[in-house]
């Protein structure tokens, strides 16, 4: 049967997450692994050419090469993450974003009219890297407050087996029912963070995901990313989808962003471009080609949209931190 089962949908609503192990065949994800290997190869060659790297590490596998390069030249991490974090926008990335098997699961959760939220990330989680550990947060902490009550589905999928040892995610089961917790900006490694005392009540669940599996979470599910204690890289991508009924910036241009527009006209995450990924009612609006997808993302890279993430105070102003 395509999509999530009724029991999986129920768990998503009851606990705020569900892990489905067999959404993809490992073969389905190989083209993206290859595309990312090419990115690493190009960057290694560039760093080598400018004298920042002593070797190309060309014989190292996907799970290790970026870590080898990073030890000598940390720039490679930023290159892969790209501007604002969501840089990689290749053909195979888009292939995963609009993969039939994944969209069937999303449809089970939010219905058939689906907008792909451009807030997606590719994460090579390099062993012992500071930014690899992400503290407790809810994705809504990053979004506009007028979207707090709406469902935006995060699909977290690893490109290798994600285990407790290499730093899979932990979720706070059941805590998504308690609204948006207080976050602080400038938390651990500069991320938005819910400090311990503000964590909503819930059960901490460690969520390993095998290659081919997907962890589905709500935007209100507190989650964190634990340390990678292995010597290999925990590659993953996190994608987000919402119903076309929610505010989005499809067909808007970043240059014309108006912070004073009605809330219905302001996307849940204004700095990046949303795109229609599936629309049975208006199939002509669907973005089907990766070139168009890339163009939408480029537009938002070229023009920064001022973004009031400022609903949170800086960590330095947290009561316990005051001098
Ligand atoms: O992949 C990770 O390590 C962190 C992911 C995360 O926090 C997110 O997708 O919101």
pLDDT tens, position by position, 232-277: 999 999 999 999 999 999 999 999 999 889 999 999 999 999 999 9
How many Å apart are CA 233 and CA 145, to the nearest integer? 34
Calculate how far, in angstroms, residue 90's C-alpha sits from the geometric centre of ligand 1.
20
Task: Name the band, by pLDDT with cuts 50, 70 and 90, for residue 167.
Answer: very high
How many Å apart are CA 323 and CA 321, to the nearest integer? 6
Calculate how far, in angstroms, residue 82's C-alpha sits from the geometric centre of ligand 1.
16
Calculate how far, in angstroms, residue 289's C-alpha sits from the geometric centre of ligand 1.
27
Calculate how far, in angstroms, residue 246's C-alpha sits from the geometric centre of ligand 1.
23
Task: Supply the pLDDT for residue 82.
Answer: 77
Region 197-213 average pLDDT: 96
How many Å apart are CA 305 and CA 301, to the nearest integer? 9
Backbone φ, ψ for residue 168 (5° rounding): -70, -175
Task: Name the band, by pLDDT with cuts 50, 70 and 90, for residue 86.
Answer: low
Task: Supply the pLDDT for residue 307.
Answer: 74
Task: Supply the pLDDT for residue 83.
Answer: 66
User: Among 225, 228, 233, 240, which is best to mutate for testing ligand 1, by the most ligand atoms less than 8 A from CB?
Assistant: 225
User: CB of 117 within 8 A of CB of 240?
Assistant: yes
Task: Supply the pLDDT for residue 80.
Answer: 86
Region 102-130 average pLDDT: 94
Residue 65 has pLDDT above 60, yes or no: yes
Task: Name the band, by pLDDT with cuts 50, 70 and 90, for residue 306.
Answer: confident
Residue whose CA is at the smallest distance from ligand 1 atom 2: 225
Which residues form ligand 1's pocket by a CB distance below 6 Å?
Answer: 123, 125, 134, 139, 154, 156, 223, 225, 236, 238
Q: Under DSSP, is residue 192 helix (H, G, I), strand (E, B) or coil?
A: coil
User: Among 121, 143, 170, 193, which is best to mutate for testing ligand 1, by the most ligand atoms less than 8 A from CB?
Assistant: 121
How many Å apart are CA 276 and CA 265, to the nearest integer? 16
Q: What is the pLDDT of residues 269-290, one digit of tens each?
A: 999 999 999 999 999 999 999 9
Q: How far apart are the first and last CA of the chain?
A: 58
Where are the chain's structural domains? Answer: 6-20+85-318, 32-81
Task: Supply the pLDDT for residue 234.
Answer: 98
CB atoms within 10 A of CB 287: 23
Task: Supply the pLDDT for residue 310.
Answer: 64
User: CB of 66 within 8 A of CB of 37?
Assistant: no
Q: What is the dihedral of CA 121, 125, 130, 135, to 10 degrees?
A: 60
Region 60-72 average pLDDT: 97
User: CB of 17 within 8 A of CB of 218?
Assistant: yes
Residue whose CA is at the smallest distance from ligand 1 atom 10: 139
Q: Which atom of ligand 1 is nearest to the CA of 223?
A: 7
How many Å apart are CA 298 and CA 307, to the nearest integer? 17
Mean pLDDT of the chain: 93
Calculate how far, in angstroms, residue 256's C-alpha sits from the geometric centre of ligand 1.
30
Q: Which atom of ligand 1 is nearest to the CA of 133?
A: 3
Residue 77 has pLDDT above 50, yes or no: yes
Task: Supply the pLDDT for residue 84.
Answer: 62
316 HSE (CA, 13 A, CB side):
2
DSSP 231-257: SS-EEEEEEEEEETTS---TT--GGG-
Task: Name the band, by pLDDT with cuts 50, 70 and 90, for residue 165.
Answer: very high
How many Å apart are CA 315 and CA 279, to the nearest integer? 41
Calculate how far, in angstroms, residue 313's C-alpha sits from the geometric centre of ligand 1.
21
Q: Which atom of ligand 1 is nearest to the CA of 125?
A: 3
Q: Which atom of ligand 1 is nearest to the CA of 225?
A: 3
Task: Supply the pLDDT for residue 322.
Answer: 45
Candidates 2.60.120.620, 3.90.1310.10, 1.10.10.10, 2.60.40.3950; correct CATH number of 6-20+85-318? Answer: 2.60.120.620
How many Å apart are CA 136 and CA 143, to the nearest integer? 15
Residue 323 has pLDDT above 60, yes or no: no
Which residue would you say has higher pLDDT here, 82 or 206? 206
Q: What is the pTM of this model?
A: 0.96
């Amino acid at each position: 049967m395509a999509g999530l089962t009724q029991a999986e949908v129920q768990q998503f609503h009851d606990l705020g997450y569900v892990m489905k192990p067999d959404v993809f065949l490992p073969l389905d994800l190989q083209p993206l692994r290859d595309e990312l290997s090419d990115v690493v190869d190009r960057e290694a060659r560039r760093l080598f050419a400018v004298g920042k790297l002593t070797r190309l590490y060309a014989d190292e596998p996907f799970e290790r090469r970026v870590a080898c390069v990073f030890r000598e030249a940390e720039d490679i991490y930023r290159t892969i993450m790209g501007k604002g974090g969501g840089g990689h926008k290749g053909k195979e990335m888009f292939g995963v974003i609009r993969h039939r098997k994944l969209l069937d699961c999303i449809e089970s959760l939010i219905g058939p009219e689906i907008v792909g939220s451009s807030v997606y990330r590719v994460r090579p989680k390099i062993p012992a890297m500071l930014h690899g550990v992400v503290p407790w947060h809810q994705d809504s902490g990053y979004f506009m407050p007028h979207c707090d009550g709406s469902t935006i589905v995060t699909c977290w999928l690893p490109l290798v087996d994600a285990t407790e040892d290499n730093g899979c995610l932990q979720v706070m089961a059941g805590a998504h029912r308690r609204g948006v917790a207080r976050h602080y900006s400038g938390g651990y490694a500069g991320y938005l963070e819910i400090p311990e005392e503000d964590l909503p009540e819930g059960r901490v669940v460690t969520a390993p995901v095998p290659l081919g599996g997907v962890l589905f979470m709500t935007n209100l599910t507190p989650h964190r990313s634990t340390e990678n204690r292995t010597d290999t890289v925990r590659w993953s991508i996190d994608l987000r989808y919402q119903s076309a009924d929610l505010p989005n910036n499809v067909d808007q241009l970043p240059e014309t962003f108006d912070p004073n527009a009605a809330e219905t006209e302001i996307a849940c995450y204004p700095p990046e471009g949303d795109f229609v990924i599936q629309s049975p009612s208006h199939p002509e609006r669907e973005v089907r080609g990766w070139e168009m997808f890339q163009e939408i993302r480029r537009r938002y890279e070229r023009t920064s949209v001022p973004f009031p993430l400022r609903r949170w105070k800086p960590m330095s102003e947290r009561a316990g931190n005051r001098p």
